[in-house]
Amino acid sequence: MTKPRPSRLTIAAIVAAPLALLAGFAWAGGWIGSPRVGGKTIADALEFNAGRQAGYRRAHAKGLCFTGQFEASGKAARLSAAPQLAPGRYAVTGRFSTGGGNPFATDGRNVFHAMALQLAGPDGQIWRMAMDHVPIFPVATPQAFVALQHATRPDPATGKPDPTAMKAYLASHPETRAYQDYIAAAPLPDSFANGTYYSINAFRFVDSAGTSHAVRWAFEPEAPFAALDKATLASLPTDYLFDELQSRLAKESLRWRMIVTVAAPGDETDNATIAWPAARPRIDAGTLTIVRAEPEESGACRDITFDPTILPDGVALSDDPLLAARSAAYAASFRRRAIEAPGPSAAGKALPGGAR
Partner 1 sequence: MPHRFPLPIRLLHWTMAALIIAMLFIGVAMVSTAGPAYTALLALHRPLGIAILLLAGIRLALRIGTRAPALPDDLPRIQQRAARVSHVLLYLAMIGLPIIGWAMLSAGSYPVRLGAGLVLPPILPPDALVFGGLRQLHALVAFAFFALILGHLTVALIHGFVRRDGVLATMGFARSASTEPAAPGDGDGRGDAVDSTDAPAPGDVEGAPPP
Q: Find the binder of partner 1 among 6, 237, 281, 353 (CB under 8 A).
A: 6
Residue ranges in 34-73 that form contacts with partner 1 under rule CB under 8 A = 36-42
Site string for partner 1, 136-155 (x = CB under 8 A): ------x-------------
Q: Known catalytic residue: 60? A: yes
When the beta carbons of 94 and 195 are compared against partner 1, the nearer one is 94
Which region, judged by CB under 8 A, interacts with partner 1, from 56-64, 65-73, 124-132, 164-172? 124-132
Q: Find the binder of partner 1 among 18, 156, 174, 224 (CB under 8 A).
A: 18
Q: Find the binder of partner 1 among 166, 183, 233, 317 (CB under 8 A).
A: 317
Under a CB-based contact definition with an 8 Å cutoff, are residues 201 and 272 in contact?
yes
Number of helices (H), then strands (E), in the chain: 7, 10
Q: Looking at beta carbons, which pairs linking 21-27 to residues 24 or more positions away fall under 8 Å?
A: none
Under a CB-based contact definition with an 8 Å cutoff, are residues 272 and 322 in contact?
yes
Which among 33, 70, 112, 121 is positioned nearest to 310, based on CA atoms? 121
List, in sequence order, every beta strand (DSSP E) within 207-311: 212-221, 254-262, 282-294
Asked whether position 1 contacts partner 1 by CB under 8 A, the answer is yes
Residue ranges in 273-302 that form contacts with partner 1 under rule CB under 8 A = 302
Classify strands 197-198 and 203-206 as parallel, antiparallel or unpaired. Answer: unpaired
Q: How far is the CB of 172 from partner 1 (least distance, A)?
A: 20
Q: How far is the CB of 203 from partner 1 (least distance, A)?
A: 12
- Look at residue 223 and give its three-state secondary structure: coil
Which region, judged by CB under 8 A, interacts with partner 1, from 95-103, 123-131, 216-224, 243-251? 123-131
Asked whether position 212 contacts partner 1 by CB under 8 A, the answer is no
Distance CA(356)–CA(348), nearest Å, equals 9
- Look at residue 327 and give its three-state secondary structure: helix
